[in-house]
Amino acid sequence: MTPPVEAAVDRAFREEWGQVVATLIRWTGDWDLAEECAQDAFALALRTWRRDGVPRRPGAWLTTAARNRAVDLLRREATGAAKLREVAGVLRTGDDAVGGDDPDVPDDRLRLIFTCCHPALALEARVALTLRTLAGLGTAEIARAFLVGEQAMAKRLARAKQKIRYAGIPYRVPPAHLLPERLPAVLAVVYLLFNEGYSATAGADLVRHDLADEAIRLARVLVRLMPDEPEAAGLLALMLLHHARRAARLDEAGDLVVLEDQDRGRWDDGQIAEGVALLDGTLRRGRPGPYQVQAAIAACHATAARPEDTDWAQIAVLYERLARLVPSPVVELNRAVAVGMAYGPAAGLALVDALRETGALAGYHLLPAARADLLRRLGRTAEAADAYREAAGLATTDAERRYLARRLAALG
Amino acid sequence: MKYVLLICGDESAAEHADDGCGGWSEKMAERGVLRGGAGLRPPSDATTLRVREGEVLLSDGPFAETKEQLGGFCLIECADLDEAIEIAAAHPAAAYGTIEIRPLVDL
């Protein structure tokens, strides 16, 4: 096989798999058949493109090949006859547009992602199904990424597809009046994928890193297909701005490097610029939401040339806005830290202590960790040491414990 | 698609036993999606039966002693799960109890 053909099939797989599967599901209503035919189409592409060259529109070629395969398979089984008439009927009416060039025709991938992320499915099933059908990851890869056995993952996928079929989960983009409650479920799955990949450490399975790229790719598709949804763009901006810092997040030993200690020269300027431009365009619509506000906070950090250039007053305001949109004690803690940076440790400590009184974050190591930093800056060293020790006792990962031990040692 | 809505509640739901459906049944019947259903007497009036090796075994009470008990059911027929969810969400019992949406076996 010549490398250019292999590369073309690889690229087509990344770019077209979801579209081919989504279209086949619409035609046949059969998720397993759709995946099987898509797989066969890619196998055929490897053989045929080597001989005939790469077609001008690989996506259309693959969809046609998968459709022909579906017709073949359905013809072979008696129960397929009725379905075959439907598929053939769809083809005769010319409803086989590929690529979704017409803005009035919802892209099949949108139908697919809304169905995969239907709230009647368990969250882990939504994530797995999205990765399998839309992103084309293999069952073994998904199983590795989520640290479960391949058989367990295969079962989870089969169960989800069975429920879609027998519970009558519709294959469609929800109507406008349902969108406000359904879109967040889709965005949450994409963001969860991103965080699974983003929080992967150097020692962990590399597959998990790919999840962050996959999430960004899915978000790009969502933004392109739903240009009027500012939160979709907000999520993409947020992920780009986090992803831009990826190379600087871990040191050679695989330890977490906190924001203020990161080598900002290793941040990806191109991704930061893209994230900021996307966010600016979105905020101008005047329909803010949690992802846009979080992206705005990430932008404040990403655009500061040095840690001391960070606009903490602006960040404090943004956290206050975020707390109003999605009330959460973790957001309040972040606001307290920002206030401590903008207006001095005493102001921050007052907020942290008020939060501590409520008990809402009992057992959460970042509360005593934040308190410790503020106490240290106030010169209350003994209390700071106690708080660092309390935080280390609650921390859940070795990297965090090592970090807190270093801070404690630095108190002298 | 046909679904049964299983309306469940804990003991506190008993105070709603005589509430009726606040016009829900009439509205859904008019819309043409309601195929039947009824409210149930409390679990204390239930008798549970099994036949084992030809012998009829009876016990007093519901088949599972759980906090949530079945209080009524409705059979509906509608386009898909989204419509079933919308229909169930409009039922007054959804506001104090729990409604399980179960698709029927398609024969």
Domain extents in chain A = 4-97, 107-326, 327-411
B82 reaches A (C-beta below 8 A): yes
Taking residues A318-342, report their average pLDDT: 95
Taking residues A121-125, report their average pLDDT: 92
User: Taking CB atoms and an 8 Å cutoff, what residues of chain A touch B82?
Assistant: 169-170, 174, 178
Count, residues in chain A = 412
For position A97, what pLDDT does the model report?
Answer: 46
> Is the pLDDT confidence value at A129 over 80?
yes
Taking residues A238-258, report their average pLDDT: 86
What is the DSSP secondary structure assignment for residue A132, as one 8-state letter? I
Write the pLDDT tens digit of every residue in A269-325.
999 999 999 999 999 999 999 999 999 999 999 999 999 999 999 999 999 999 999
Domains of chain B (ranges, CATH numbers): 2-103 (3.30.70.1060)
Amino acid at site A306:
R
Question: Do A174 and B79 make contact, defined as CB atoms within 8 angstroms?
Answer: no
Taking residues A229-237, report their average pLDDT: 97
> Is the pLDDT confidence value at A239 over 90?
yes
B62 and B36 Cβ atoms separated by less than 8 Å = no
For position A202, what pLDDT does the model report?
Answer: 40
Question: Do A168 and B85 make contact, defined as CB atoms within 8 angstroms?
Answer: no
B79 reaches A (C-beta below 8 A): yes
User: Taking CB atoms and an 8 Å cutoff, what residues of chain B touch A118?
Assistant: 81
Nearest chain A Cα distance for residue B79, angstroms: 8
A339 and A351 Cβ atoms separated by less than 8 Å = yes
A80 confidence band (pLDDT: 50, 70, 90): low
The architecture in CATH of the region A327-411 reads Alpha Horseshoe (1.25)
Short-list A11, A97, A22, A74, CA closest to A46: A11
A105 confidence band (pLDDT: 50, 70, 90): low
Question: Do A174 and B1 make contact, defined as CB atoms within 8 angstroms?
Answer: no
Short-list A101, A114, A74, A109, CA closest to A90: A74
Considering the entire predicted model, what is its pTM?
Answer: 0.80
Question: Do B84 and A168 make contact, defined as CB atoms within 8 angstroms?
Answer: yes
Question: Do B82 and A166 make contact, defined as CB atoms within 8 angstroms?
Answer: no
* Chain A residues whose C-beta sits inside 8 Å of any chain B C-beta: 118, 120, 166-170, 174, 178
Which among A118, A166, A170 has CB closest to B103? A166
B7 and B72 Cβ atoms separated by less than 8 Å = yes
Write the pLDDT tens digit of every residue in A175-188.
888 888 889 989 99
Instruction: Report percent pLDDT > 70 for chain B.
Output: 96
Query: Mutation test of the interface with chain A: which of B5, B78, B80, choosing the one with the most A Cβ atoms within 10 A?
Result: B80
For position A76, what pLDDT does the model report?
Answer: 85
For position A350, what pLDDT does the model report?
Answer: 97
Question: Do A169 and B80 make contact, defined as CB atoms within 8 angstroms?
Answer: yes
For position A94, what pLDDT does the model report?
Answer: 46
What is the DSSP secondary structure assignment for residue A404, as one 8-state letter? H
Taking residues A141-160, report their average pLDDT: 90
Question: Do B82 and A167 make contact, defined as CB atoms within 8 angstroms?
Answer: no
Write the pLDDT tens digit of every residue in B7-32.
998 877 777 766 778 889 999 999 99
More confident residue, A96 or A383: A383
Q: What is the DSSP string of A173-238?
A: PPPTTTHHHHHHHHHHHHHHHHHHHHT--TTS-THHHHHHHHHHHHHHHHHHH-TT-HHHHHHHHH
Write the pLDDT tens digit of every residue in B30-51.
999 999 999 999 888 999 999 9
For position A393, what pLDDT does the model report?
Answer: 93
Question: Do A120 and B81 make contact, defined as CB atoms within 8 angstroms?
Answer: yes
Query: Mutation test of the interface with chain A: which of B5, B33, B81, B105, choosing the one with the most A Cβ atoms within 10 A?
Result: B81
Nearest chain B Cα distance for residue A171, angstroms: 10
B103 reaches A (C-beta below 8 A): yes
B51 reaches A (C-beta below 8 A): no
Interface A–B counts its CB contacts (< 8 A) at 24
B53 reaches A (C-beta below 8 A): no
Closest Cα in chain A to B4: A167
Closest Cα in chain B to A167: B103
> Is the pLDDT confidence value at A98 over 50?
no
A266 and A244 Cβ atoms separated by less than 8 Å = no
Which among B3, B81, B106 has CB closest to A169? B81
A200 confidence band (pLDDT: 50, 70, 90): low
More confident residue, A373 or A88: A373
